[in-house]
């Protein structure tokens, strides 16, 4: 049974219990009042009969006459009230031994009176007979050397009939009221528990793998707070799941790319080595084969070196200190001289700038960026490097080219290890897809983020901002 149904049933049971208890108390209190009124009237009528007989006894004694059974019986006959049919109420007169001397009781009243022993005093006694209820009162009439028992019966069936009618009307009223209340309670509980159904549905969808599911609850109560917490939890779960999925995908791509990048030069090395081992070649062919083996081995060496550098940066963060950018740019120019070929290096910027960083890593970062720009075949034959103060503080470094550019949809992945936009061009130029991944890691170690702007066929601009050394010391 659902929570809304249990809540509705509990509220209905509580409401029915309260109504029933209140109704029973009301009806029975009312019927008890009616019975007390009927008993008071019956007692008053009984006293009238009793005093009449007592007066008769005293009158006979005052006249010096003997009090006989016939005299009291005659007097009882005179005062008896038989009612319309002789069954509503009446009197019964008997001697001390309980022998009846006179009775004005109808058949039902006589049946009710039969078998009743002396009840003493003037307390009433209720008896049922033939579907009617009678209230019995009894008193003792004293006479010289004898006594008589006077019993009166009053029909109080109407009191109990009125009680039963009130109960029946109450049951009908309660049934109607509970029916209306049941409909209202069902509608209210359904509305109140709708947010819980929404939470349940969202949790079921998440359990089935739909991590985008959210609970659409906008109530300003505890359930609304739970829904907000649930949605925040679902958001965190979705982010973690997406991150795990991305990490797993990147790991698979990394392993596939690493295997491919390692297999390609190894295949060439093994092939040329086998040729040298099995065939008799002329000196020129042997030299050419050895050159291929050497170049492919150097490629494997460069690949392993960059991979080791990337892993080393992840395991042991660099110690940052004040670094003079003039010195970094001079070292960069010297390192690039053998590899730029026909491409010229255009370095501009302010003199005397110092940043918080690691000199060797910064040289390596800029070396990789310039080398990538040179491999993009800039149209103007130049790679532009800018070092200046950033408008918002810090030192801005920018490497720009007018080469082939990067398609917009590829920009978000160019910093992944082994990812290459144009694999054939990259391998032909000696690339491994590790350069930008290494640059991104070095920038992150310096508290910076690579900003890559590119347009296919126009060129690429890579920039990042380092903290100026004097700012770091002030902080």
Q: How far is CA 247 from the centre of its chain?
A: 30
Where are the domains positioned within the chain? 3-167, 236-316, 318-474
Q: What is the pLDDT of residue 196?
A: 77
Question: What integer pLDDT is reported at residue 472 of this predicted model?
Answer: 43
End-to-end CA distance of the chain: 63
Q: What is the pLDDT of residue 463?
A: 94
Q: What are the CA-CA distances from residue 131 to residues 42, 112, 151 (Å)?
A: 20, 10, 21
- Location of structure tokens 């029933």: 20
- Spatial distance between the Cα atoms of 190 and 196, rounded to a whole number of angstroms: 10
Q: Tokens at residue 25, please?
A: 């108390």
Give me the architecture of the 318-474 domain, per CATH. 2-Layer Sandwich (3.30)
Running DSSP on this structure, what letter comes out for residue 320? Answer: P
Is 346:382 a contact under the CB 8 Å cutoff? yes
Q: For the purposes of burial, counting CB atoms within 10 Å of the CB of 406, is it exposed (0-12), middle (13-18) or buried (19 or more)?
A: buried
Residues 6+ apart with CB under 8 A from 9: 1
Region 3-167: CATH code: 3.30.450.20
Extract the tokens encoding 250: 């990147």
Dist. CA 319–CA 103, nearest whole Å = 125
At residue 209, the pLDDT reads 81
Output Rg (C-alpha) for the chain, integer angstroms.
Answer: 57
Q: Is the CATH code 3.30.2310 the one for domain 236-316?
A: no
Residues in the chain: 475
For 279: left if phi > 0, alpha if psi spans -120 to 50, otherwise beta; the answer is beta
CB atoms within 10 A of CB 129: 17
Edge-to-edge strand list for the sheet holding 459-466: 344-349, 382-389, 395-401, 459-466, 451-455
Q: Say if CB 153 and CB 80 are below 8 A apart.
A: no
Tell the residue number behind the tokens 């990812």, with chain if given.
419
- The three-state secondary structure class of 360 is helix
List the pLDDT tens digit at each of the 475 positions of the chain. Answer: 677 777 788 888 888 888 888 888 888 899 889 988 988 888 888 888 889 999 989 998 888 888 888 888 888 888 875 444 443 578 888 888 878 888 888 787 787 777 666 555 546 778 888 888 888 888 888 888 889 988 888 888 888 888 888 888 888 988 888 889 888 888 888 777 777 777 778 888 888 888 788 877 767 777 777 877 878 888 888 888 888 887 777 677 666 656 655 666 778 788 888 888 888 888 888 888 888 788 778 767 766 766 666 566 555 566 788 999 999 999 888 888 877 888 999 999 888 999 998 888 888 889 888 988 888 889 999 999 999 999 888 999 999 999 988 888 888 778 776 665 554 444 444 445 566 877 888 888 888 999 999 988 899 999 999 999 875 444 4
89, β-bridge pairs: 154
Helix intervals (H) in 341-434 = 359-375, 423-428
- What is the Cα–Cα distance from 389 to 369, expressed in whole angstroms? 20
Contact 297, 273 (CB under 8 A): no
**Is residue 416 within a helix (H) or strand (E), and if so which, with residue range?**
none
pTM listed for this prediction: 0.44
Give the Cα separation of 332 and 325 in Å (integer).
Answer: 10
């Amino acid at each position: 049974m659902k929570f809304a149904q249990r809540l509705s049933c509990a509220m209905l049971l509580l409401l029915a219990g309260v109504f029933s208890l209140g109704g029973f108390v009301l009806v029975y209190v009312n019927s008890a009042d009616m019975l007390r009124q009927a008993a008071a009237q019956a007692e008053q009528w009984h006293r009238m009969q009793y005093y009449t007989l007592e007066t008769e006894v005293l009158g006979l004694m005052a006249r010096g006459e003997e009090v006989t059974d016939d005299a009291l019986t005659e007097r009882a006959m005179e005062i008896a009230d038989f009612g319309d049919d002789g069954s509503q109420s009446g009197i019964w007169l008997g001697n001390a031994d309980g022998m009846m001397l006179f009775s004005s009781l109808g058949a039902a009243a006589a049946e009710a009176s039969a078998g009743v022993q002396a009840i003493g005093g003037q307390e009433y006694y209720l008896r049922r007979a033939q579907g009617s209820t009678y209230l019995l009162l009894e008193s003792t009439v004293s006479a010289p050397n004898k006594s008589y028992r006077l019993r009166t019966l009053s029909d109080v069936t109407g009191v109990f009939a009125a009680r039963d009618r009130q109960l029946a009307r109450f049951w009908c009223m309660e049934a109607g009221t509970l029916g209306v209340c049941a409909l209202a309670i069902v509608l209210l509980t359904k509305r109140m528990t709708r947010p819980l159904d929404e939470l349940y549905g969202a949790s079921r969808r998440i359990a089935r793998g739909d991590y985008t599911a959210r609970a659409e609850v906008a109530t300003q109560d505890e359930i609304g707070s739970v829904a907000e917490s649930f949605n925040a939890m679902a958001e965190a779960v979705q982010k973690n799941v997406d991150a795990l999925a991305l990490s797993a995908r990147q790991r698979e791509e990394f392993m596939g790319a690493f295997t491919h990048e390692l297999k390609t030069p190894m295949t060439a090395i093994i092939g040329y080595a086998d040729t040298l081992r099995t065939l008799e070649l002329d000196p020129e062919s042997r030299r050419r084969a050895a050159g291929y083996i050497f170049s492919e081995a150097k490629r494997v060496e460069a690949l392993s070196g960059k991979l080791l550098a990337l892993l080393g940066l992840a395991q042991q963060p660099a110690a940052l200190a004040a670094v003079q950018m003039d010195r970094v740019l001079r070292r960069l120019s010297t390192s690039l001289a053998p590899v730029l070929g026909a491409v010229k290096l255009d370095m501009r910027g302010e003199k005397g700038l110092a940043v918080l960083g690691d000199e060797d890593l910064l040289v390596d970062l800029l070396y990789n960026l310039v080398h990538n720009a040179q491999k993009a075949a800039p149209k103007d034959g130049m790679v532009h490097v800018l070092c200046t103060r950033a408008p918002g503080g810090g030192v801005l470094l920018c490497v720009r080219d007018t080469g082939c550019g990067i398609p917009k949809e590829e920009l978000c992945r160019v910093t992944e290890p082994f990812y290459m936009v144009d694999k054939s061009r990259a391998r032909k130029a000696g690339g491994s897809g590790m350069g930008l991944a290494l640059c991104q890691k070095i920038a992150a170690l310096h508290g910076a983020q690579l900003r890559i702007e590119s347009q296919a066929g126009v060129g690429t601009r890579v920039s990042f901002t380092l903290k100026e050394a004097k700012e770091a010391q002030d902080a």
